[in-house]
Amino acid sequence: MPYLIMGIDDMDAEDGGCTTYVMYSFIKYLVNDGLVNDVIGLPRLTRLNPYVPFKTRGNASLSIILRVDSEDAARDYVELMQVIADQMVRRTGKTSPGIAYIVVDDLEKMPDRLTWFYGKSVRDVVNMDLAQRVSEKVGAKLIGGRGTIGALASIGFVPRDATYEFIAYRNEDSERPTIDAQDVTTWDTATKPFTFLNIDGTHVLIEPHGPDPVLFGVRGDSPYHVISMGNYLANKYGAIGWIVYLTNQGTDEHRTHSGRYIPYRNVDVIGIIVSVSFDEYGHAHIKLGNGMRAIAYRHLGISKELSNCVGCLVDIWGGVKPGEENTIYVEGIRVLHDREIEITNPRCPRCGGPMESLGRVGILRCKRCGFKDKLPRVISARNRWFLINPRESEYRHLMKPIERVGLEGLALYIPKPLLWVY
């Protein structure tokens, strides 16, 4: 039996509206028509390269996989999506909605070129021309404007790591309610580590700002945990409906691990920090021994750790913005070799007990047996490696939160919840 994979993108408008809400509305039609069981897995929310020069708000595209009887049935679903999009999307400003779809017989055999296109859209810059060539090669169809690029990328999403997001929607005619930090803290504690980036101190992170129809979004590695937390908050704050998406958020999927500075990409650079200086805004300008440069914004909250790191061997990653001198905008730093050394007293050569200094240069005495001698101190490199991460509120969609380290891939083994849209 064939499958329809359909993607959408760029249905956000400046004055509200949101591509995830278009997908939600499409699925609500399926629910009302008794067709929701034809949805394979969960609908997918895919974030694309945050460093591209032209992008939609949040750079989100969406896709869904549906079991269909025939190509005709597939076309009916595509038409339904077109009708919904036409009704909902206010074509203002730069909004240029697009739909992409493909019908395949075997979900295990996705065309390589399509998965490649997804990877390139997350890590690099793609254009309309490339999207058209790829879609012709693999037999996918594109309908609409610039949004077809992200829509095509989303249908090529074959997750190796994934997370979930519970998105609750609100009535746009009424005032946005303020979500109480105490509620979020309680649920954050109860669902850890299977939800992440809920709150930073008392700053609630699950709530978007601006006019869009999203009331809040709870992200996590387990659909059951995001549903427990999300459902409670959805009831309390008067959501009009909710849905759970499978996403590439928080997976570091945008990292290329490439050591070359290529504009608009996320790259890694390894070197010794030779200087850290701060400009008038408090942003840290980092110079490495190999001549490469990086900038860490003050908001990341890592200035203090950075200034303690001159002399450390580090791996720095972030986005490259083109300019006179290519510079990395830091997302994270791993200290590979700490510059710090520790000086400790040796153990007693007679009994192995701890030794203390007598104050006079080099004279040490054993606390256990009283042995006294002039002995050299032990100098050891701490040689620990550690991560310098931004504060929670500074994480962007694709960046992997430290709480997720070790949970990679878990999401793909958890069965689909029975109730995932309301």
Binding residues for Zn ion, rule: CB under 5 A, are: 348, 350-351, 353, 366, 368-369, 371
Residue whose tokens read 């090529």: 156
Name which of 203 and 350 has its Cβ closer to Zn ion.
Answer: 350
CA 314 to centroid of chain Cα atoms:
22
C-alpha to C-alpha distance for 269 and 167, rounded to whole angstroms: 36
Angle at the Cα of 381 (from 377 to 386), degrees rounded to 5?
Answer: 150
> Judged by CB, which is closer to Zn ion: 100, or 348?
348
Nearest approach, Cβ of 379 to Zn ion (angstroms)? 21
Minimum distance from residue 199 beta carbon to Zn ion (Å): 52
Comparing CB distances to Zn ion, the nearer of 369 and 412 is 369
DSSP 382: -
Considering the complex, state which of residue 353 and residue 417 has its C-beta at the smaller distance from Zn ion.
353
| Smallest distance, Zn ion to C-beta of residue 196, A | 50
Please state the closest distance from residue 355 (CB atom) to Zn ion, in A: 7
Q: Which of 214-227 are b and which e, b meaning 16 or more Cβ less than 10 Å from the residue's Cβ?
A: bbbbbbbbbbebbb
Tokens 């609409």 label which residue? Answer: 144
d(CA 273, CA 259): 16
- The CB-of-373 to Zn ion minimum distance in angstroms stands at 10
Q: How far apart are CA 365 and CA 355, in angstroms?
A: 5
| Cα dihedral: 260, 265, 271, 277 (round 10) | 130
Exposure on the CB side of residue 105, measured as CA atoms within 13 A: 0
**Closer residue to Zn ion in complex, CB, 369/387:** 369
Between 201 and 370, name the residue whose CB sits nearer to Zn ion: 370
Token pair 């890694």: residue: 268
* Closer Cβ to Zn ion, 134 or 366, answer by number: 366
CA–CA gap between residue 20 and residue 245 (Å, rounded): 9
CB of 343 to Zn ion, least distance (A): 20
CB of 354 to Zn ion, least distance (A): 8
Contact 131, 152 (CB under 8 A): yes
